[in-house]
Structure 1
Amino acid sequence: MRSLKKVLATISGLFLFTAGESVFAAESISYAYLKDPAQEALIYAIKAGKIKSDKITIDLKALTVPSLTQATTTKQFDVIQTSALAVPDAATRGLDLKIIGIGQKLVPNGEGMALWTTAESSIKSIQDLKGKSLGVTGLKSMGTTMIRLALLKRYGFNVSLAGGDVKLVEMPSPNLPAALSQHRIEATNLIPTQAFQVRSDPNFKKFGDLSGDIKALIGSDVVYSVLVSYPDRLKARPEAFKEFIRIMKASLDYTQANRAEVFRAVSKETGMPVEYFEAWFDHYISFPVIVGQKDIVSLEKIWSFSKELGVISSYPSGVAAVWQGVLSQ
């Protein structure tokens, strides 16, 4: 009888333990981010188990820009990294997005908006762009909008999409360096991986950088991308999303404090040299995660200028666009 009681007690204990695990199991947050080697450095501490949470697990998925755009519409993920312009654009289509974090920002006095041409080109300054063709990834993309803004406000260009001083030639980002070298376009702005590769290539030259011009217009560091989610999901699981932001910030802090370790690891994983990651963090992009008051002001000014250029038709206030759950932290 005692043996039977012991067995029943053991079974009962196991059942309660299992049930307890089920009840208190960590919630899952799915996160889709830009497919780029440097992004892996940002989440290295999460993937490597250096930063952990007993409240949530994060399901990570790297996607291209077109796939991120599609996933935003289909609500495939809980959190998505997307362009700062996606928030007002989605609102005009009836899709409410809330900003829960700041993604990429242009590094002050960096090279994120550098303009490139071929070594033999007659283009030597930004003013020389008049009458030339400029390769862009999208006519209404964040990068193109910032270029048009700087050329209009700082250099007096006519930046109309049709009949402007610069002919904008739209093509996929991977095609830009080849199109430039083959003279199908006369100038372009390159993403960091491409810019890093061509800056030591004697066949290309940098003839200007609009980063400082854009910052002067916006009045603060330019918010290039944001982390967004959906109001119903935020309302249903507010603590889980707050924990997601905490973990993302902790991962970024780990990277900044252990750059040598992280850069070596992601270099081995991605095949990009350590020097690329150093350049990305020092000269191209920052990724603060936490939403600051200056970021809200930056977003409103970006949206205001974008409306002036006809890129978006309307926009919300910065405060209304940001989830109150992160503003109160």
Structure 2
Amino acid sequence: MSTTPPQQGSTSRTRRTAVVILALWCLVALAGCAFGAGPSAAEAKTIKLAVSDDPTRHMALWALEHGKVDTGGIDVEVAYLPNETATQAFQTRQYDLIEASPVSVAASAASGFQTRIVSAGVLNRTGTVVYVRSNSAIRGGSDFKGARIAIGSLGGSSTQELRFVLQEDYGLDTSLKGGDVVLQPASPDSVFTLLKQGQFDGAVMLNRASYLAGKDPSLRVALEVSKEASAITHASATQTVLVTYPDVEDVKRDALAEVSSALAASVAYARDHKAEVAKEAAQGNAATADYLQWWWQHADLRFGSLVDADIAGVEAFWTMAETVGQIKDKPSFDDLRSSAAPEPS
């Protein structure tokens, strides 16, 4: 039985064709793996930003949202979250960049939930004060022993400042149970009326409530909490920060840095055009616009900034939290600093 010898040229071509097909298949497979493992180009160029739904934040972001600043080609999707939950919402991981409390960030890090600080948020210079009725016998911090004070929340930043000052400057026991003062959470909408009715001996007034209380002759300031806290810690407290997550930072570092620069520019625009931006953020409400201009006298917007003073403000906040037992130990700022943050100065 005879056989036909193989045709050498035909076999070589077949093998070469198979090798080429195999190589192309591998490249396609690798490309598919690469695309599946990371975000698309559009996703990498988008930053989902979430901040507290407060007129001061609308003021901070007005220029960014109205095309007054360059975002470096990054699409910034802004979400405004309810004030009651905003500073804890970073734990949901729904956003790339989110406003949070430095104390919550520190406490979460201690439990293993990692975030990275990209920039400061709101700096509190003189915003936390305790009001009393004008005819009250309370004249200073030591007079609050045995008093009932209305606060926003037991874990709030203003409560932390108050406890710290009463403890460090006046030697009062500020334990939440069995201390020298009774700290009672109350709705911001009701605290003004409740104080005037005598249901509290004093009340921590913040933001708009403090603005209104300052106009009421039946009330007066008995304790400048922020001023006294700053004198002890040698820094004004940075009450909020913008944070991201290590995995987001790895993928979107450049986009986060671009957005941080845009945020700094947006805040600078608001600072340089206070009346104009306050009016726009107030959406035609003259009282809100007036309040926003008042607000600048007591606080500052620091989105996109992380200079030494901002860091000192965060560390001051951590010092107060550690002193009153809200966190066990202060973290190292360098351990929580994002590589997308502005360079230190």
TM-score w.r.t. length of structure 1: 0.85
Q: Secondary structure at the match of 1:194?
A: helix
Q: Is the counterpart of residue 53 in structure 1 residue 90 in structure 2?
A: no
Q: Which residue of 2 aligns with 1:142?
A: 157
Q: Cα distance 1:27–1:137, how it changes in 2: closer, same or farther (>3 A)?
A: same
Q: Which residue of 1 aligns with 2:231?
A: 216
Q: Cα distance 1:254–1:309, how it changes in 2: closer, same or farther (>3 A)?
A: same
Q: Is the counterpart of residue 225 in structure 1 residue 240 in structure 2?
A: yes
Q: Cα distance 1:324–1:288, how it changes in 2: closer, same or farther (>3 A)?
A: same
Alpha carbons 2:88, 2:104 under 8 Å: kept: no
Equivalent residues, number: 305
**Residues 98-117 of structure 1 mapped to structure 2, 5 A cutoff:** 98-107=116-125, 110=126, 112-117=127-132
Distance 2:312 2:288 in 1: 36
Q: Which residue of 2 aligns with 1:251?
A: 266
Deviation at 1:219, TM superposition (A): 1.3
TM-score w.r.t. length of structure 2: 0.81
Give per-residue Cα distances to partners, 1:20-74, cap 9 Å, x unaligned.
xx96798221111112112211111012221232421211111123332452111
Alpha carbons 2:152, 2:204 under 8 Å: kept: no
Q: Cα distance 1:33–1:150, how it changes in 2: closer, same or farther (>3 A)?
A: same
Q: Is the counterpart of residue 95 in structure 1 residue 110 in structure 2?
A: no
Larger radius of gyration: 2
Runs of 4+ in 1 over 4 A off after TM superposition: 22-26
Distance 1:301 1:249 in 2: 22
Answer with 180-189 or 219-228: which moved more.
180-189
Alpha carbons 1:101, 1:290 under 8 Å: kept: yes
Gaps of 5+ in 2: 1-39
Give per-residue Cα distances to partners, 1:144-173, cap 9 Å, x unaligned.
111111111112222222222211112333
Q: Which residue of 2 aligns with 1:192?
A: 207
Deviation at 1:285, TM superposition (A): 3.6
Q: Which residue of 1 aligns with 2:337?
A: 322
What CA RMSD, in Å, does the superposition of the two structures yield over aligned residues? 2.2
Alpha carbons 2:46, 2:76 under 8 Å: kept: yes
Answer with 268-277 or 253-262: which moved more.
268-277
Q: Percent identity?
A: 24
**Residues 1-329 of structure 1 mapped to structure 2, 5 A cutoff:** 27-107=45-125, 110=126, 112-269=127-284, 272-287=287-302, 289-328=304-343
Deviation at 1:114, TM superposition (A): 1.4
Deviation at 1:183, TM superposition (A): 2.5
Q: Secondary structure at the match of 2:282?
A: helix
Gaps of 5+ in 1: 1-21
Alpha carbons 1:297, 1:318 under 8 Å: kept: no
Q: What amino acid is aligned across from residue 232 of structure 2 in structure 1?
A: L
